[in-house]
Structure 1
């Protein structure tokens, strides 16, 4: 039998499920997008550590409210997890990352090997932190120079691709002025970084017609993809696809992040209306990505698990890319997480090097407890 024989897990029981408070810190205050106000400079988050009867342990992030973690104490690992599938019990979804980390550590392999090792361990990574900082502070907006300063900071950190937020006219500026600013910013970044990969994200702040007008206005900027231009619906996406086809553009359409209806976005992808699916790496989870990825590969659709919010999500997405393959690029979140050591993940020349350390390759140094 293979090295990931589930028989190795027989007898392993969870003897402790321990939550730990962590804190995310960004290197700068992250501003607004089309729909939301300032994203601030950091926030608290929570991890959970699983310990087994034989002394093994693994840990991972949990998002959202945690309900009765102690219900899992005493459960066998084989009841909750299979190496070829992931989490077996839907109610154990909050433990998805922790169980993957634990089982990979028991097998003494990196998670990407547990997932099949079908991708490259050098994973393209873009900065997802280029927001509407030109609009702040409100009493003395800094203008486009602020966006370029943030690009320069992220370039110095090793990024070679930027995702620019667009949709300023949806909420924060006069409609026409905001639309014009979106175009100005795109052009300014392209001029300053002619070799960079540029992606844009409207956070559902455009209409289909505005999306086509924007793409026409920046057609010479060689965008890589446009993300969430509007809530995914077939007629609007068809209009955008027709424009891209008629103009000879190879810009990709990326969607499926915000409150995704999996079957709906998958059907849109099957119809050739979406090129890249973006369900969140944490809320969708590695088990769901393991289930879905073969279908995406079969129909010729790429993936890029949404990772904004936490730097650790970038490391998770990179492991999925190295393990499952079919992931075009991953979202980078500049910053750090107090209480976690992840030096093994090196960003250099626009790519994350995924380590060979067992589990996710991340070390939890924070003490147990939730504030």
Structure 2
């Protein structure tokens, strides 16, 4: 069996990679370099020169070959390696007529607990989102910011007192609406300085969030460690990291209690499972980052099924942001994971990752590239988001 074709496919705001073999197998993967899918597709095209004619089952060898050849990597290149890796695992599963999780050692759990995305331009919309998640049976809600999902064209201004006071009041209200038993995953989106994050973290401890996500920018791991050391809420971070070695440095500083690898930029299933194992050695949990399609979800669930330290799976709804809706997964994919009505996602036992692309997906949902558009402070400077 040999690789016969490698193709990037743009659908709506997603980038998929299909790899076909000479005996008719098709593997599907997804790249997650937010805003840079064109660059990722360019990297896939470069790697195609190497992959054509290769044995698709030598997954680790191909991973090492692409990674070590690509001296200047970053998110766009790692997204290409990730999409290719996921597609190759999909092919391997189909070749052996087994789900990928069986090839990774078998399931340690039969279903994966998930948290549901909540969006809102107003507090009322966020509050109703929590109520909706409860009615649907979810036991955790996330993407739950205390700062609102305001439109990027609206200038931002709050005093320190307003920012902290309003955020604390909002999280308190989240807890009242969610009730005592639902987990709150508080999303900061890197919008705070270290001192602000410490002050807010301490103030919302009485409402016992499951975690505080990305409280500060990820560039300085020592500052993330500073925040983690000063508050009693677990820190969840890692969605922008692209390698095992970045996570090792994060873990070495005790800067994280829940790692958030994105299977579509950390090197695919191969990269994510190594990060999960690395975290396991430090008794750190895994909450895979997953803002993308059901292909990403399916790949994440292979990790959820096999990692003993898996905690929770991010499960996006039908919203890109407060102004933009996603197409329904079933309209362009076959086999999307389902919520069981009790807070868990089904883990497919179909061969491969269990998801395939509908033939008319790209035609039905033409590519919509992300605009270069970010929010500004009232004084004209850039807001971190």
TM-score of the superposition, structure 2-length normalised? 0.74
Structure 1 residue 235: Cα displacement: 5.0
How many aligned residue pairs are there? 323
- Does the residue aligned with 1:100 lie in a helix, a strand or coil? helix
Conserved in 1, the CA contact under 8 Å of 2:228 and 2:234? no
CA distance in 2, matches of 1:200, 1:208: 16
Q: Are residues 187 and 76 of structure 1, via their aligned partners in 2, closer, same or farther at CA, if it must alter by over 3 Å?
A: same
Q: Determine the C-alpha separation between the residues in 1 that align with 2:310 and 2:62.
A: 19
The whole-number CA distance in structure 1 between the counterparts of 2:221 and 2:339 is 39
For residue 74 of structure 1, report the CA deviation from its aligned partner.
Answer: 3.7
Indicate how the Cα distance of structure 1 residues 125 and 292 shifts in structure 2: closer, same or farther if over 3 A, else same.
same
Distance 2:278 2:85 in 1: 21
2:320 corresponds to 1:341: no
Name 1:179's counterpart in structure 2: 164
Q: Quickly say closer, same or farther: Cα 1:294–1:167, change in 2 above 3 A.
A: same
Give the aligned partner of residue 288 of structure 2: 305
* 1:223 matched to 2:209: yes
- Deviation (angstroms), 1:329: 0.8
1:162 partnered with 2:151: no
Tell me the distance in 2 between the aligned counterparts of 1:14 and 1:54: 9
Structure 2 residue runs of 5 or longer lacking an equivalent are 68-79, 319-327, 367-385
Are 1:125 and 2:114 matched, yes or no? yes
The answer to whether structure 1 residue 49 and structure 2 residue 18 are counterparts is: yes
For the Cα contact (< 8 Å) 1:167–1:179, is it kept in 2?
no
Residue aligning to 1:76 = 54
- Deviation at 1:261? 6.8
State the superposition RMSD in angstroms: 2.9
1:293 counterpart (276, 290, 309): 276
Between the aligned partners of 2:87 and 2:251, the Cα distance in structure 1 is: 31
Structure-2 change in CA distance of 1:189 and 1:167 (3 Å)? closer
- Is residue 90 of structure 1 aligned with residue 102 of structure 2? no
For the residues of structure 1 that align with 2:91 and 2:209, how far apart are their CA atoms?
A: 40
Counterpart contact for 1:169–1:177, Cα < 8 Å = no
Structure 1 residues 344 and 317 mapped into 2: Cα distance closer, same or farther (>3 Å)? closer
Q: Write the distance in 2 (CA, Å) between the matches of 1:289 and 1:151.
A: 30
Q: 1:324-350: CA deviations, max 9, x gaps?
A: 332211111013333102255334311
Are the equivalent residues in 2 in contact too, given 1:257–1:280 (CA < 8 A)?
yes
**2:244·2:271 contact (CA, 8 Å) conserved in 1?**
no
